[in-house]
Structure 1
Amino acid sequence: MKRRSLPVAAAFAATAALLLTACGGDDSSSKTSDEIAGADTGTTGKSPSPAATATASVQRPEVKLPEDVTNTFDSWKTGDATKDAVLADASRRIDALAYAITRGDPDEPVLGFYYKDDALLGAADWVQEFVKAKKSMTGETRYFKPNVNVYEEDKATLTYCSFEGEAFVKDRKTGKAEKTPVTDNSYLLYSTRLEKSDKGVWQTAALNSERGNDACTP
C-alpha cells in the first residue's frame, strides 16, 4: 500500500510533541472544519463508549487497548439509531488507531476495517511515524461535542472535539511518557466524512483536524 506523509510527521519525529493526530489523520491548521461539511458541535456530558453499548449485526474485530491507554467518549449517543451507528463505528475507528500504534503495526488489519481511501493512507502513515521513532502512546484522550449529519443513506459527516492534555507519547523501550503542558493546542476539532460499506460498517473516508479551535477550547 502506498502511503503519503502527514503534514505533522516531521514535526512529530523532531519534537515528540502531543500526539493525536493519533486519532487518525491530518493535523493541519490550514485545513479547517468546513472542508468536510458538518453541523455545529453539540453538547457535552458523559456517556458510555458506544463501542461497548451499541448493538450491531456485523461481526467486528476485537480491539483491546493496553491498560495505560484510555479513550473516553462524552455524549457519544443521540438516541437516533442511524446516528448512533455512525458514532459507534467512529469510536471503534479511534480505538483501532490507538491499537495499531500500541502494537507498532501500520498494516494492522483493523485499520482497513474502519478506515478507507485517504483516511486509511493517513492512519497507516501516522502509525509508521511512531514505529520509526520507536514510540508508542499512553494516557487518556477525551472525545466530546460530537455532531452527526447523515445526508444520504450511506454517507455521513461527523465533527467532534478531543482533549489530549492527559495523553502522551511514550518511549517504546523504556516505557517513559514524554509529558507536555496543557495548552489550547491540547484541544482539537475533527471533521470527518464516513461511508457505509457493503458489510454495514461506517468507515471513515476523510479526516481533517485543527488544534486550538475555539469550538473545543474552554
Structure 2
Amino acid sequence: MARRALPITAATLTATAALLLSACGGDDDKSPDDTKAADAGSSPSASASATTPPLAKRPDITIPSSFQLTFEDWTSSDPRRQAVLDDAEEEVRAGYAAIIANDPDSESVAFYDTEGVRGQTKEWIKSYTDKNLTVIGKLPSFNPRVVLAENGQGAALTYCTDESDAKTRNRKTGKVEGNPAGTNPYVVYAVSLTKNEQGVWQNSSVRSERGKCSR
C-alpha cells in the first residue's frame, strides 16, 4: 500500500529530515523560538502571493465510499501552510482515485505532480492496476508538519498513515487482501513540494519508510 517505500535519509531535504524527529506520534514540541524561526523564513512577497487568487482550476477528484481516505488535522492557522496541505492532500487523493479508476495516466495526478516525479507516481499506480487490483477499506493520514522555504516557492511536508484497515481487492476474482501478517501498518512520508506559476503546490519528490511513526 505504501507509496515509493524508499528509506528517508538526510539527503531528502534538510528541513524534511529535521521534521522526521517529530513527524508522527506525540505532541508537537516546537518551542516558541522554533516557531518564530520558521515564520521568519517567509518573505513579505511570499505572504503576498499566498493571498493572490489561484490561476489554476483544480480538478474534481471523486473517491467511492468503499475506500475511506481521511486526513486528520490537516489544518493550519497559517494560510501559506494550509495551501500546501490542501494541494498535498489532493495529490494523495488523485493517486488513489487513479488506482480505483484503473487510470495510470490520470490527468489529476499530472496536475499535482511535477514532471520529474510523475513517472514514479504512474509506476506506483501501475503496481496495482497491472495486477487488476483496486483499493478498499480505510486509510487515515495524520500528524502533518509543514516547513516553508525562505523564498516561499518550496515546502517540505511529513505525515503518517495507518494501513491497519487498508486492503486490496482483485477486480476479476474479488479476492481481498491486506498487508502480510506482522507488517507494521504505520508509514511515514516525507514530501518535497514546489509552487508552480499557477500557484499550485506540486509534489516534486516523495519518500516513505514503514514503522517510523505511530499514533
Q: TM-score, length-normalised on structure 2?
A: 0.78
The answer (yes or no) to whether the contact 1:33–1:208 under 8 Å persists in 2 is no
- CA 146–180 in structure 1, closer or farther in 2 if over 3 Å, else same: same
1:190 aligned residue: 189
2:108 aligned residue: 110
- Counterpart code for 1:92: E
2:98 aligned residue: 100
- Measured after TM superposition, the shift of residue 173 of structure 1 is 1.8
The 3-state SS of whatever aligns with 1:35 is coil
2:5 aligned residue: 27
2:62 aligned residue: 64
- Counterpart code for 1:166: D
The answer (yes or no) to whether the contact 2:136–2:168 under 8 Å persists in 1 is yes
- CA 99–169 in structure 1, closer or farther in 2 if over 3 Å, else same: same
The answer (yes or no) to whether the contact 2:189–2:208 under 8 Å persists in 1 is yes
- CA 42–171 in structure 1, closer or farther in 2 if over 3 Å, else same: closer
**Which structure 2 residue ranges, 5 or more long, are not aligned?**
28-52
Q: TM-score, length-normalised on structure 1?
A: 0.77
Alpha-carbon distance in structure 1 between the residues aligned to 2:110 and 2:2: 19
- Measured after TM superposition, the shift of residue 174 of structure 1 is 3.4
The answer (yes or no) to whether the contact 2:61–2:94 under 8 Å persists in 1 is yes
The answer (yes or no) to whether the contact 1:184–1:217 under 8 Å persists in 2 is no
- Counterpart code for 1:73: F
1:14 aligned residue: none
- Counterpart code for 1:161: C
The answer (yes or no) to whether the contact 1:44–1:74 under 8 Å persists in 2 is no
- Counterpart code for 1:95: R
| Pairs within 5 Å for 1:18-97 | 19-21=1-3, 26-28=4-6, 30-32=7-9, 35-36=12-13, 37-38=15-16, 39=19, 40-41=22-23, 57=54, 58-97=56-95
Say which is worse superposed, 170-179 or 109-118, in terms of deviation. Answer: 170-179
RMSD, aligned α-carbons: 2.1
The answer (yes or no) to whether the contact 2:25–2:214 under 8 Å persists in 1 is no
Say which is worse superposed, 74-83 or 34-43, in terms of deviation. Answer: 34-43
- Counterpart code for 2:152: E
The 3-state SS of whatever aligns with 1:27 is coil
- Counterpart code for 1:27: A
2:178 aligned residue: 179
- Measured after TM superposition, the shift of residue 176 of structure 1 is 3.3
- CA 34–182 in structure 1, closer or farther in 2 if over 3 Å, else same: farther
The 3-state SS of whatever aligns with 2:92 is helix
Q: Deviation string for 1:114-149 (max 9, x for gaps)?
A: 111342111101111212111111111111111000
The answer (yes or no) to whether the contact 1:194–1:203 under 8 Å persists in 2 is yes
The answer (yes or no) to whether the contact 1:33–1:190 under 8 Å persists in 2 is no
- Measured after TM superposition, the shift of residue 75 of structure 1 is 1.2
| Structure number with larger C-alpha Rg | 2
- CA 135–202 in structure 1, closer or farther in 2 if over 3 Å, else same: same
**Which structure 1 residue ranges, 5 or more long, are not aligned?**
1-18, 46-55
- CA 134–70 in structure 1, closer or farther in 2 if over 3 Å, else same: same
Alpha-carbon distance in structure 1 between the residues aligned to 2:104 and 2:133: 13
Matched positions, count: 183
The answer (yes or no) to whether the contact 1:33–1:191 under 8 Å persists in 2 is no
The 3-state SS of whatever aligns with 1:170 is strand
